[in-house]
A = this chain, B = another copy of it.
Amino acid sequence: MSAQRRPLGLSDSVQAASIAHRFYVRGESKLEIAEAYGLSRFKIARILDSARESGLVRVEFDLPAPIDPALSDELRSAYGLQRALVLERAKPNETRPELRRRIGALAARLLTEIATKDDVIGLSWARSVNVMTEQISTLPRCPIVQLCGVQAGMDMRDRSVETVSGLARISGGDAYPIYAPLVLPDRRTTETLRRQPGIAETFGQFRSLTKAVVSIGAWQENESTVYDSLSPAERDAISKRGARAEVAARLFDAEGNALSTGLSHHVLAISHEELHQVPEVIALGYTTPKAEAVDAVLRSGMVSTLITDADAARDALALASGRRG
Protein backbone atom coordinates (compact mmCIF):
# COMPACT_ATOMS: atom_id res chain seq x y z
CA MET A 1 0.00 0.00 0.00
CA SER A 2 2.37 2.67 1.19
CA ALA A 3 5.56 3.73 -0.49
CA GLN A 4 9.09 2.73 0.38
CA ARG A 5 10.23 4.28 3.62
CA ARG A 6 13.89 4.70 4.40
CA PRO A 7 15.99 1.86 3.06
CA LEU A 8 17.11 0.52 6.47
CA GLY A 9 20.69 -0.34 7.30
CA LEU A 10 22.50 -3.53 6.38
CA SER A 11 22.46 -4.93 9.87
CA ASP A 12 18.79 -4.17 10.43
CA SER A 13 17.94 -5.52 7.02
CA VAL A 14 19.55 -8.83 7.74
CA GLN A 15 17.81 -9.07 11.06
CA ALA A 16 14.49 -8.15 9.47
CA ALA A 17 15.01 -10.66 6.68
CA SER A 18 15.86 -13.39 9.15
CA ILE A 19 12.77 -12.63 11.16
CA ALA A 20 10.68 -12.53 8.01
CA HIS A 21 12.12 -15.86 6.98
CA ARG A 22 11.15 -17.41 10.28
CA PHE A 23 7.70 -15.92 10.14
CA TYR A 24 6.71 -16.27 6.51
CA VAL A 25 8.70 -19.28 5.40
CA ARG A 26 9.02 -21.39 8.53
CA GLY A 27 5.71 -20.21 9.91
CA GLU A 28 6.87 -19.57 13.46
CA SER A 29 4.68 -17.39 15.63
CA LYS A 30 5.74 -13.88 16.50
CA LEU A 31 5.83 -14.79 20.17
CA GLU A 32 8.25 -17.60 19.41
CA ILE A 33 10.50 -15.35 17.35
CA ALA A 34 10.35 -12.64 19.97
CA GLU A 35 11.67 -15.07 22.56
CA ALA A 36 14.44 -16.28 20.27
CA TYR A 37 15.60 -12.71 19.70
CA GLY A 38 14.92 -11.41 23.17
CA LEU A 39 12.54 -8.78 21.82
CA SER A 40 8.90 -8.11 22.52
CA ARG A 41 6.38 -9.53 20.12
CA PHE A 42 5.36 -5.95 19.30
CA LYS A 43 8.85 -5.17 18.20
CA ILE A 44 8.80 -8.24 15.96
CA ALA A 45 5.48 -7.15 14.50
CA ARG A 46 6.85 -3.69 13.78
CA ILE A 47 9.97 -5.11 12.18
CA LEU A 48 7.84 -7.33 9.96
CA ASP A 49 5.58 -4.44 9.01
CA SER A 50 8.41 -2.16 8.09
CA ALA A 51 10.13 -4.97 6.22
CA ARG A 52 7.08 -5.37 4.03
CA GLU A 53 6.55 -1.65 3.63
CA SER A 54 10.15 -1.03 2.70
CA GLY A 55 9.99 -3.76 0.09
CA LEU A 56 12.65 -5.80 1.86
CA VAL A 57 10.40 -8.83 1.77
CA ARG A 58 8.30 -9.35 -1.30
CA VAL A 59 5.62 -11.93 -1.89
CA GLU A 60 5.89 -13.47 -5.32
CA PHE A 61 3.37 -15.65 -7.09
CA ASP A 62 4.49 -18.58 -9.20
CA LEU A 63 1.29 -19.10 -11.11
CA PRO A 64 1.18 -21.80 -13.76
CA ALA A 65 0.18 -19.05 -16.20
CA PRO A 66 1.05 -15.36 -16.59
CA ILE A 67 -1.88 -14.14 -14.55
CA ASP A 68 -2.04 -11.04 -12.38
CA PRO A 69 -3.53 -12.29 -9.12
CA ALA A 70 -4.19 -8.85 -7.67
CA LEU A 71 -6.10 -7.56 -10.67
CA SER A 72 -7.92 -10.86 -11.03
CA ASP A 73 -9.14 -10.68 -7.50
CA GLU A 74 -10.16 -7.06 -7.73
CA LEU A 75 -12.14 -7.75 -10.85
CA ARG A 76 -13.70 -10.83 -9.36
CA SER A 77 -14.97 -9.05 -6.30
CA ALA A 78 -15.91 -5.82 -8.08
CA TYR A 79 -18.35 -7.66 -10.33
CA GLY A 80 -19.20 -10.55 -8.05
CA LEU A 81 -17.77 -13.06 -10.48
CA GLN A 82 -16.97 -16.60 -9.58
CA ARG A 83 -13.56 -16.34 -11.25
CA ALA A 84 -11.52 -13.81 -13.14
CA LEU A 85 -8.33 -14.50 -15.03
CA VAL A 86 -6.39 -11.38 -15.96
CA LEU A 87 -3.51 -11.97 -18.31
CA GLU A 88 -0.41 -10.03 -17.37
CA ARG A 89 0.78 -7.47 -19.83
CA ALA A 90 3.37 -9.15 -21.99
CA LYS A 91 5.39 -7.07 -24.38
CA PRO A 92 4.74 -3.33 -24.48
CA ASN A 93 3.21 -3.54 -27.94
CA GLU A 94 1.58 -6.88 -28.22
CA THR A 95 -0.42 -7.30 -31.39
CA ARG A 96 -4.04 -8.27 -31.20
CA PRO A 97 -3.55 -11.76 -32.67
CA GLU A 98 -0.80 -12.44 -30.11
CA LEU A 99 -3.02 -11.31 -27.28
CA ARG A 100 -5.92 -13.34 -28.65
CA ARG A 101 -3.73 -16.38 -28.79
CA ARG A 102 -2.74 -15.99 -25.15
CA ILE A 103 -6.33 -15.36 -24.06
CA GLY A 104 -7.39 -18.43 -26.01
CA ALA A 105 -4.66 -20.53 -24.43
CA LEU A 106 -5.81 -19.49 -20.99
CA ALA A 107 -9.42 -20.30 -21.78
CA ALA A 108 -8.34 -23.64 -23.22
CA ARG A 109 -6.52 -24.57 -20.04
CA LEU A 110 -9.41 -23.49 -17.89
CA LEU A 111 -12.00 -25.39 -19.91
CA THR A 112 -9.84 -28.51 -20.00
CA GLU A 113 -9.51 -28.30 -16.27
CA ILE A 114 -13.09 -27.67 -15.26
CA ALA A 115 -14.94 -29.72 -17.88
CA THR A 116 -16.38 -33.03 -16.71
CA LYS A 117 -18.07 -35.83 -18.61
CA ASP A 118 -21.50 -34.59 -17.46
CA ASP A 119 -21.07 -31.18 -19.04
CA VAL A 120 -22.83 -29.82 -22.08
CA ILE A 121 -20.55 -27.17 -23.53
CA GLY A 122 -21.70 -24.27 -25.70
CA LEU A 123 -19.44 -22.21 -27.93
CA SER A 124 -20.24 -18.82 -29.38
CA TRP A 125 -18.92 -17.59 -32.64
CA ALA A 126 -15.73 -15.60 -32.25
CA ARG A 127 -12.12 -15.58 -33.22
CA SER A 128 -10.97 -15.90 -29.63
CA VAL A 129 -13.24 -18.89 -29.03
CA ASN A 130 -11.91 -20.42 -32.21
CA VAL A 131 -8.34 -19.86 -31.08
CA MET A 132 -9.24 -21.48 -27.79
CA THR A 133 -10.54 -24.69 -29.37
CA GLU A 134 -7.37 -24.98 -31.41
CA GLN A 135 -5.41 -25.17 -28.18
CA ILE A 136 -7.49 -27.84 -26.53
CA SER A 137 -5.98 -31.29 -26.82
CA THR A 138 -8.04 -33.31 -24.38
CA LEU A 139 -11.60 -32.95 -23.13
CA PRO A 140 -13.99 -35.35 -21.39
CA ARG A 141 -16.58 -36.99 -23.62
CA CYS A 142 -19.32 -34.38 -23.61
CA PRO A 143 -21.61 -32.73 -26.19
CA ILE A 144 -20.40 -29.54 -27.87
CA VAL A 145 -23.12 -27.12 -28.87
CA GLN A 146 -22.84 -24.18 -31.23
CA LEU A 147 -24.58 -21.16 -29.71
CA CYS A 148 -25.13 -19.07 -32.83
CA GLY A 149 -25.10 -19.18 -36.60
CA VAL A 150 -22.10 -18.78 -38.81
CA GLN A 151 -20.71 -15.29 -39.15
CA ALA A 152 -20.03 -14.29 -42.72
CA GLY A 153 -16.62 -12.92 -43.59
CA MET A 154 -13.17 -13.87 -42.56
CA ASP A 155 -14.31 -16.63 -40.24
CA MET A 156 -15.04 -18.83 -43.21
CA ARG A 157 -11.50 -18.62 -44.40
CA ASP A 158 -9.82 -19.86 -41.25
CA ARG A 159 -12.20 -22.80 -41.16
CA SER A 160 -13.78 -21.76 -37.90
CA VAL A 161 -17.01 -23.37 -39.08
CA GLU A 162 -15.35 -26.52 -37.91
CA THR A 163 -14.82 -25.26 -34.37
CA VAL A 164 -17.70 -27.20 -32.84
CA SER A 165 -17.20 -30.43 -34.74
CA GLY A 166 -13.45 -30.20 -34.21
CA LEU A 167 -13.82 -29.89 -30.47
CA ALA A 168 -16.44 -32.64 -30.42
CA ARG A 169 -13.94 -34.88 -32.21
CA ILE A 170 -11.36 -34.23 -29.49
CA SER A 171 -13.94 -34.74 -26.79
CA GLY A 172 -15.52 -37.79 -28.37
CA GLY A 173 -18.97 -36.39 -27.60
CA ASP A 174 -21.78 -35.34 -29.93
CA ALA A 175 -21.52 -32.16 -32.00
CA TYR A 176 -24.47 -29.79 -32.36
CA PRO A 177 -23.48 -27.32 -35.08
CA ILE A 178 -25.56 -24.66 -36.79
CA TYR A 179 -24.98 -24.71 -40.50
CA ALA A 180 -26.74 -21.45 -41.27
CA PRO A 181 -25.83 -17.75 -41.18
CA LEU A 182 -25.93 -15.82 -37.92
CA VAL A 183 -27.64 -12.73 -39.34
CA LEU A 184 -30.50 -13.30 -41.74
CA PRO A 185 -32.35 -10.84 -43.97
CA ASP A 186 -35.74 -11.12 -42.25
CA ARG A 187 -37.71 -12.63 -39.43
CA ARG A 188 -39.55 -15.16 -41.57
CA THR A 189 -36.40 -16.72 -42.98
CA THR A 190 -34.94 -16.84 -39.51
CA GLU A 191 -37.89 -18.72 -38.09
CA THR A 192 -37.97 -21.10 -41.00
CA LEU A 193 -34.33 -22.00 -40.54
CA ARG A 194 -34.83 -22.17 -36.80
CA ARG A 195 -37.22 -25.09 -37.42
CA GLN A 196 -34.88 -27.00 -39.71
CA PRO A 197 -34.12 -30.46 -38.23
CA GLY A 198 -30.40 -30.00 -37.50
CA ILE A 199 -30.76 -26.47 -36.27
CA ALA A 200 -33.80 -27.18 -34.12
CA GLU A 201 -31.90 -30.00 -32.48
CA THR A 202 -29.03 -27.66 -31.59
CA PHE A 203 -31.44 -25.04 -30.23
CA GLY A 204 -33.01 -27.80 -28.18
CA GLN A 205 -29.70 -28.31 -26.40
CA PHE A 206 -29.57 -24.71 -25.15
CA ARG A 207 -31.64 -25.50 -22.07
CA SER A 208 -29.29 -28.33 -21.10
CA LEU A 209 -26.08 -26.33 -21.31
CA THR A 210 -23.86 -26.47 -18.24
CA LYS A 211 -20.99 -24.42 -19.60
CA ALA A 212 -20.63 -21.82 -22.32
CA VAL A 213 -17.64 -20.03 -23.75
CA VAL A 214 -18.50 -16.69 -25.31
CA SER A 215 -16.73 -13.62 -26.57
CA ILE A 216 -17.64 -10.06 -25.67
CA GLY A 217 -17.93 -7.61 -28.56
CA ALA A 218 -18.16 -3.84 -28.28
CA TRP A 219 -20.77 -2.04 -30.32
CA GLN A 220 -18.31 -0.26 -32.55
CA GLU A 221 -16.34 -0.85 -35.68
CA ASN A 222 -13.87 -3.73 -35.61
CA GLU A 223 -14.87 -4.65 -32.09
CA SER A 224 -17.78 -6.90 -33.01
CA THR A 225 -18.20 -9.11 -36.03
CA VAL A 226 -21.96 -8.64 -35.79
CA TYR A 227 -21.60 -4.85 -35.85
CA ASP A 228 -19.30 -5.07 -38.82
CA SER A 229 -21.76 -7.20 -40.76
CA LEU A 230 -24.67 -4.77 -40.48
CA SER A 231 -25.53 -1.79 -42.65
CA PRO A 232 -24.70 1.68 -41.34
CA ALA A 233 -28.41 2.37 -40.85
CA GLU A 234 -28.90 -0.71 -38.70
CA ARG A 235 -25.75 -0.04 -36.69
CA ASP A 236 -26.86 3.47 -35.86
CA ALA A 237 -30.39 2.46 -35.02
CA ILE A 238 -29.05 -0.06 -32.55
CA SER A 239 -26.49 2.40 -31.18
CA LYS A 240 -29.31 4.89 -30.55
CA ARG A 241 -31.10 2.25 -28.48
CA GLY A 242 -28.04 2.33 -26.21
CA ALA A 243 -26.25 -0.83 -27.27
CA ARG A 244 -22.75 -1.12 -25.84
CA ALA A 245 -21.93 -4.77 -25.95
CA GLU A 246 -22.73 -7.88 -27.91
CA VAL A 247 -22.46 -11.53 -26.91
CA ALA A 248 -23.49 -14.18 -29.42
CA ALA A 249 -25.37 -11.48 -31.38
CA ARG A 250 -27.37 -10.53 -28.28
CA LEU A 251 -27.10 -6.92 -27.18
CA PHE A 252 -26.57 -5.20 -23.84
CA ASP A 253 -26.86 -1.56 -22.80
CA ALA A 254 -24.34 0.16 -20.55
CA GLU A 255 -26.10 -1.07 -17.42
CA GLY A 256 -25.96 -4.66 -18.59
CA ASN A 257 -29.65 -4.91 -19.44
CA ALA A 258 -30.67 -7.18 -22.29
CA LEU A 259 -31.55 -5.03 -25.26
CA SER A 260 -34.27 -6.18 -27.59
CA THR A 261 -33.98 -4.61 -31.02
CA GLY A 262 -35.11 -5.46 -34.48
CA LEU A 263 -31.93 -7.45 -34.81
CA SER A 264 -33.12 -9.88 -32.16
CA HIS A 265 -35.63 -11.35 -34.55
CA HIS A 266 -33.40 -12.10 -37.46
CA VAL A 267 -30.39 -13.76 -35.89
CA LEU A 268 -29.93 -17.45 -35.23
CA ALA A 269 -28.53 -17.49 -31.71
CA ILE A 270 -29.13 -18.48 -28.13
CA SER A 271 -31.39 -16.00 -26.33
CA HIS A 272 -30.42 -13.75 -23.44
CA GLU A 273 -32.54 -15.84 -21.11
CA GLU A 274 -31.13 -19.17 -22.17
CA LEU A 275 -27.58 -17.91 -21.86
CA HIS A 276 -28.35 -16.49 -18.44
CA GLN A 277 -29.51 -19.94 -17.33
CA VAL A 278 -26.15 -21.53 -18.09
CA PRO A 279 -24.44 -22.18 -14.75
CA GLU A 280 -20.93 -21.46 -15.99
CA VAL A 281 -20.46 -18.76 -18.62
CA ILE A 282 -16.84 -18.11 -19.53
CA ALA A 283 -16.54 -14.75 -21.27
CA LEU A 284 -13.50 -13.67 -23.24
CA GLY A 285 -13.02 -9.94 -23.70
CA TYR A 286 -9.74 -8.19 -24.22
CA THR A 287 -8.04 -4.97 -25.27
CA THR A 288 -8.90 -1.51 -24.01
CA PRO A 289 -11.56 -0.57 -26.58
CA LYS A 290 -13.67 -3.41 -25.25
CA ALA A 291 -13.51 -2.34 -21.60
CA GLU A 292 -16.86 -0.59 -21.66
CA ALA A 293 -18.48 -3.59 -23.28
CA VAL A 294 -16.88 -5.94 -20.78
CA ASP A 295 -18.19 -3.72 -18.00
CA ALA A 296 -21.70 -3.80 -19.46
CA VAL A 297 -21.78 -7.58 -19.89
CA LEU A 298 -20.39 -8.22 -16.44
CA ARG A 299 -23.10 -6.00 -14.98
CA SER A 300 -25.72 -8.24 -16.56
CA GLY A 301 -24.74 -10.92 -14.06
CA MET A 302 -24.63 -13.46 -16.84
CA VAL A 303 -20.91 -14.16 -16.66
CA SER A 304 -19.34 -16.44 -14.07
CA THR A 305 -15.77 -16.36 -15.36
CA LEU A 306 -14.08 -13.54 -17.21
CA ILE A 307 -10.83 -13.96 -19.08
CA THR A 308 -9.25 -10.69 -20.08
CA ASP A 309 -5.99 -8.76 -20.30
CA ALA A 310 -4.53 -6.32 -17.81
CA ASP A 311 -5.37 -3.21 -19.83
CA ALA A 312 -9.03 -4.06 -20.23
CA ALA A 313 -9.18 -5.18 -16.59
CA ARG A 314 -7.86 -1.88 -15.34
CA ASP A 315 -10.21 0.12 -17.52
CA ALA A 316 -13.21 -1.92 -16.48
CA LEU A 317 -12.25 -1.56 -12.83
CA ALA A 318 -12.01 2.20 -13.29
CA LEU A 319 -15.57 2.20 -14.63
CA ALA A 320 -16.79 0.03 -11.77
CA SER A 321 -15.13 2.08 -9.06
CA GLY A 322 -16.30 5.29 -10.74
CA ARG A 323 -19.86 4.19 -10.01
CA ARG A 324 -19.16 3.37 -6.38
CA GLY A 325 -16.70 5.94 -5.08
CB <8 Å contact, A62 and B55: yes
* Complex CA distance for A217 and B109, rounded to whole angstroms: 58
* Complex CA distance for A34 and B106, rounded to whole angstroms: 27
Q: How many copies does the complex hold?
A: 2
Number of residues on chain A facing chain B (CB within 8 A): 46
* Complex CA distance for A83 and B76, rounded to whole angstroms: 45
Chain B residues near A18: list those with CB within 8 A.
69-70, 72-73, 76
CB <8 Å contact, B24 and A113: no
Across the interface, A26 reaches (CB within 8 A) one of B1, B13, B83, B114, namely: B1
A193: interface (CB < 8 Å): no
Given known A7-B64, A77-B36, contact A59–B14 (CB-CB < 8 A) = no
CB <8 Å contact, B21 and A63: no
Chain B residues near A3: list those with CB within 8 A.
none
A47: interface (CB < 8 Å): no
Chain B residues near A7: list those with CB within 8 A.
64
CB <8 Å contact, A21 and B70: yes
How near does chain B come to A103, taking the closest CB pair, in angstroms? 14
Sample of 5 more A-B contacts, CB < 8 Å, known A57-B59, A58-B62: A10-B106, A18-B73, A25-B59, A56-B62, A60-B60
Could you write out 23 A-B pairs with CB less than 8 Å apart? A1-B27, A10-B65, A10-B85, A10-B106, A11-B114, A14-B85, A17-B61, A17-B67, A17-B69, A18-B69, A18-B70, A18-B73, A18-B76, A20-B61, A20-B69, A21-B61, A25-B52, A25-B70, A27-B52, A55-B62, A56-B61, A57-B59, A59-B60
